[in-house]
Chains A and B, each alone.
Chain A
Amino acid sequence: MSDPIELSCPSPSTGYERVVLAHGAGGRVMQRLITDLFIAAFDTPQLHRGHDGATVELSPPIAVTTDAFTVTPRFFPGGDIGSLAVYGTVNDVAMCGARPAVLTAAFILEEGLPLPELRRIVESMAAAARRCGVRIVTGDTKVVEHGQGDGVYVTTTGMGTVVAKAAIEPASVRPGDAVLVSGPVGDHGIAVLAAREGIEIETALRSDAGPVHEAVLALLQADLSVHCLRDPTRGGLASALGEVAQSGGHGVRIDEASVPVRPEVADACELLGLDPLRAACEGRFVAWLPARHAARAIEILQASGCERATTIGEITSEHSGVVVLRDGAGGERILDMLAGEQWPRIC
Chain B
Amino acid sequence: MRYVDEFREPARLRAAVEALHRVTTRPWTIMEICGGQTHAIARWSLETRLPKGLTLVHGPGCPVCVTPVEVIEHARRLAIDASVLLCTFGDMMRVPGTGGDLLAARAAGADVRVVISPLDAVELARARPDATVVFFGVGFETTAPTVALAIEAAHRLRLPNFAVLAAHVRVPPAMAMILDAPDNAVQAFLAAGHVCTVEGTAAYPELVRRFEVPMVVTGFEPLDLLEGLRRAVLQLEAGRADLEIQYERAVRPEGNPLARAAVERVFEVTDRRWRGLGVVPEGGLRVREAFARYDAEHRFGRPPAHVEEPGACRAADVLRGRLHPTSCPEFGRGCTPERPLGAPMVSSEGACAAYYHHRRIQRHP
Interface residues of A (CB under 8 A from B): 197, 199, 263, 266-267, 270, 272-273, 319, 322, 324, 327-334, 336, 339-341, 343-347
Known: A270-B1, A328-B8. A343 touches B91 (CB 8 A): yes
Among B19-27, B70-78, B138-146, B228-236, the stretch that binds chain A is B138-146
Q: Which of B14, B42, B43, B90 has the most CB of A within 10 A?
A: B90
Decide if B13 is an interface residue (CB 8 Å cutoff): yes
List 5 tightest A-B contacts by C-beta distance, closest first.
A343-B90, A331-B45, A328-B10, A339-B337, A333-B358
Q: Which of B13, B103, B140, B357 has the most CB of A within 10 A?
A: B357
CB distance from A252 to the nearest CB of B (A): 12
- Name 18 interchain pairs, CB-CB below 8 A, sorted by A: A266-B1, A270-B1, A272-B116, A322-B361, A324-B361, A327-B44, A329-B222, A330-B14, A331-B44, A333-B357, A334-B358, A334-B359, A339-B336, A343-B91, A343-B114, A344-B90, A346-B349, A347-B143
Q: Which of A329, A334, A336 is in CB contact (< 8 Å) with B10?
A: A329
Query: How far apart are the CA atoms of A273 and B45 in the complex, in Å?
Result: 18
Q: Which residues of B from 243 to 274 have beta carbons under 8 Å from A?
A: none
Interface residues of B (CB under 8 A from A): 1, 4, 8-10, 13-14, 17, 36, 42-46, 48-49, 63-64, 89-91, 93-94, 103, 114, 116, 138-140, 142-143, 194, 222, 336-338, 348-349, 356-361
Count: A-B pairs, CB below 8 Å: 85
Please name all residues of chain B whose beta carbon is closer than 8 Å to the beta carbon of A331 when the two chains form the complex.
Answer: 44-46, 48-49
Q: Which of B4, B89, B103 is in CB contact (< 8 Å) with A346?
A: B89
Query: How far apart are the CA atoms of A328 and B13 in the complex, in Å?
Result: 9
Please name all residues of chain A whose beta carbon is closer than 8 Å to the beta carbon of B9 when the two chains form the complex.
Answer: 328
* B338 to A, closest residue via Cβ: A339
Q: Which of A199, A270, A330 is in CB contact (< 8 Å) with B116?
A: A199
CB distance from B36 to the nearest CB of A (A): 7
Query: How far apart are the CA atoms of A56 and B261 in the complex, in Å?
Result: 71
Query: How far apart are the CA atoms of A60 and B70 in the complex, in Å?
Result: 61
Q: Which of B1, B13, B138, B361 is in CB contact (< 8 Å) with A334?
A: B361
Known: A329-B14, A340-B103. A346 touches B43 (CB 8 A): no
Please name all residues of chain B whose beta carbon is closer than 8 Å to the beta carbon of A328 when the two chains form the complex.
Answer: 8-10, 13
Known: A197-B116, A334-B360. A263 touches B1 (CB 8 A): yes
Please name all residues of chain B whose beta carbon is closer than 8 Å to the beta carbon of A347 when the two chains form the complex.
Answer: 36, 63, 139-140, 142-143, 194
CB distance from A323 to the nearest CB of B (A): 10
Please name all residues of chain B whose beta carbon is closer than 8 Å to the beta carbon of A330 when the two chains form the complex.
Answer: 10, 14
Query: How far apart are the CA atoms of A327 and B221 in the complex, in Å?
Result: 14
Query: How far apart are the CA atoms of A302 and B297 in the complex, in Å?
Result: 60
Q: Which of A199, A266, A270, A345 is in CB contact (< 8 Å) with B348?
A: A345
Please name all residues of chain B whose beta carbon is closer than 8 Å to the beta carbon of A345 when the two chains form the complex.
Answer: 89-91, 348-349
